[in-house]
Amino acid sequence: MNIKNVLKEKNFTFKKSLGQNFLTDEVLLGGVVEKAGVTNDVSVLEIGVGAGTLTSEIAKRAKKVLGFEVDKNLKPVLDKTLSEFSNVTIDFRDVMKVSMQEIEELAGEEYMLVANLPYYITTPIIMRFIEDAKNCKAIVVTIQKEVAERIVAKEKTSDYGSITVSINAVADTEIIEYIGREKFYPSPNVDSAVVKITLNPDKYYIKDIVKFRNLIKNSFLMRRKTLVNNLMKGYNLSRLDAEELLNKLKVPLNARGEELSVKEFIDLAELI
């Protein structure tokens, strides 16, 4: 099916403010869905179905798809592009206004989140599923390349930061595909990558997750400052007390947040 023709036929006008840059290459999308590990026993949640191009490739391979799309003007387009599938349900609501409990009730069972995310809510959506979802097994999302690289970054690199530590403490991460800007319609001014985040709650033992998240937030408060300075500010500590924590961890006193491994942050959270 020629998606560009369907969009024209239904008089669809793109809204940049909703991050409407669609992927139309079926071969590329099919490959992404396969690499994501979608098989006929997997239920999928898709956020931002757009014209339904990714949805179709998921529907061909998955048990079922629950899709959210905020733009009701896409309904006539989707009625046409998804007409052959009986395993797809589209919910025309802003996913940010639907509680996690309701999303998971609608999904009905364990599921995988697969999406080409609207760029303006990429991080909030990923963090929401990392922190609040109970039945989400994996998150496979097409996002701005730079954000994907931050998610999979190794310590002691400039890409490593709070998002890296927060996600890799509870999940395994990898980039499974790079997608150039020219593959999108219309083309955005950034390249993208597909990151696969496999939830792995047994990866580390984290005694108090709230305390751990708070430490990550405080440790990267000011990126140019040392960890000692960030801990002093975040926890209202004296320099001596902050240095004592790092001594116990055997971390150099001039270290910055990006020098600590995920495991060292977990150990540090227990000391605070």
Q: Provide the 8-state DSSP code for 168.
A: H
> Out of 7, 18, 147, 216, which residue is the one contacting ligand SAM (CB under 6 A)?
18
Neighbouring C-beta atoms of residue 145, cutoff 10 Å = 19
Neighbouring CB atoms inside 10 A of 173's CB total 17
Query: d(Cα 14, Cα 45) in Å, to the nearest integer?
Result: 23
Task: Please identify, among the stretches 89-97, 156-164, 237-245, 252-260, the one whose residues bind ligand SAM according to the rule CB under 6 A.
Answer: 89-97
**Residue position matching structure tokens 């990151």:** 195
CB 114, CB 140: distance < 8 Å: yes
- The sign of the CA dihedral 113, 117, 118, 122 is positive
Stretch that binds ligand SAM, among 90-98, 164-172, 233-241, 242-250 (CB under 6 A): 90-98
Positions 164 through 203 that interact with ligand SAM (CB under 6 A): none
Q: Strand, coil or helix: what is 179?
A: strand
For 254, phi then psi, to 5°, come to -95, 10
CB nearer to ligand SAM: pick between 78 and 228 = 78
Nearest distance in Å: CB 172, ligand SAM: 24
The residue (of 68 and 265) whose beta carbon lies closer to ligand SAM is: 68
Q: How far is the CB of 8 from ligand SAM (least distance, A)?
A: 16
* Near ligand SAM in 19-58, by CB under 6 A: 19-23, 47-50, 53-54
Contact present, 167 and 267 (Cβ < 8 Å) = no
d(CA 205, CA 214): 16
Based on CB atoms, which residue is closest to ligand SAM, 19 or 31?
A: 19
Q: Which of 70, 138, 246, 268 binds ligand SAM (CB under 6 A)?
A: 70
Q: Which of residues 93-152 bind ligand SAM (CB under 6 A)?
A: 94-96, 116, 118, 121
Query: Of the two residues 11 and 238, which places its CB atom closer to ligand SAM in the complex?
Result: 11
Give the range of 92-100, 213-221, 243-251, 260-268 binding ligand SAM by CB under 6 A: 92-100
CA 166 to chain centre: 12
Are 197 and 167 in contact by the 8 Å Cβ rule? The answer is: yes
Number of residues near ligand SAM (by CB under 6 A) = 22
Q: Where on the chain is the footprint of ligand SAM (CB under 6 A)?
A: 18-23, 47-50, 53-54, 68-71, 94-96, 116, 118, 121
